[in-house]
A and B are shown apart, each in its own frame.
Chain A
């Protein structure tokens, strides 16, 4: 596969991740206010597991592409060290989505919501609490990463006159 195709594929994957992120974010903003035993809550939870898993897979694919075709600084006004800052934050953002996906799946597994091997009792309250905490922590991690990417984008706009609102590489 040539560089042009890889660049296009990376760009498409990034857009898919961005859109999935918006869907998941809307879902997690709404779900906590819905009563736990209602049908609506059940639907929202299952939708969260499905879209969250997709986000995990796409982020994993995006990171794989990252190593084959690393995003490049195409703006001559932006120094490489400044670009490296955004680059590291964006790379960490995809890693956060992967960590979020792994902890989310483990949480659902130990809560008995998903089963890879039917008929096995996977419910474990202690482990559910621990991975649930990690899932929440990684959630805060990607929110802070996005805020810092936006902060640096604004700073670069003022300092180097580089206009880019690209949060996801």
Chain B
């Protein structure tokens, strides 16, 4: 009986090594996945320093204009808003992001109380160099910057790891932002 694994030529095994190497790169290339999670990107003190000189409202305070202008929802509208965040034909956000304070982190940063935070400071996520540069340039997440980011992530911050198509529909983006304001109070 012939033992082909022993008689195989070096080039046969070389192809396997090449395919394996390419395969290890593909999750990063296609999904923006990264094999290691950074537990803490920035200390609480450093985050405070970044925000101390910027006067942003508390987006989650029930007296803020952002909360006051949130529309009261019927059951059907609430489902619509949730679907914009969760569903495949909506923003697809929930596939990678958690939102509630008690939710466990998934592949992407937790979005709990995202508004008013500097970019690139969430825990348990390894940020791209592009997003770290944005943090150092002072990018803050506000409803307006999130709207710009999710409309075309790669155009807004080239080289960031959120490799999904942008949400062209303005109404869907508005629903997602309202959901972020409502759900992480």
Which residues of chain A have a CB within 8 Å of any CB of chain B?
32-37, 69-73, 80-81, 83-85, 87-89, 91-92, 123, 125-126, 129-130, 132-134, 136-138, 140-141, 144-145, 148
Contacts and interface: CB of A to CB of B under 8 A. Distances in A.
B15 A148 contact: yes
A126 B124 contact: yes
B87 A83 contact: no
B105 A125 contact: yes
B105 A148 contact: no
Contacts of A140: 22-23, 26-27
A125 B27 contact: no
A31 to B, nearest CB: 10
Nearest to B33: A133
A88 B12 contact: yes
Interface stretch (B1-9, B111-119, B129-137, B165-173): B1-9
Interface of B: 1-5, 7-9, 12-13, 15-16, 19-20, 22-24, 26-27, 31, 33-37, 39, 86-88, 94-95, 104-105, 107, 124
Given A70-B2, A140-B27, A85 B34 contact: no
Nearest to B5: A91
Contacts of A145: 19
Contact of A84 (B9, B16, B31, B104): B9
Given A84-B8, A136-B27, A141-B23, 7 more contacts: A33-B88, A72-B1, A73-B4, A80-B7, A83-B4, A88-B16, A132-B107
Contacts of B94: 35-37
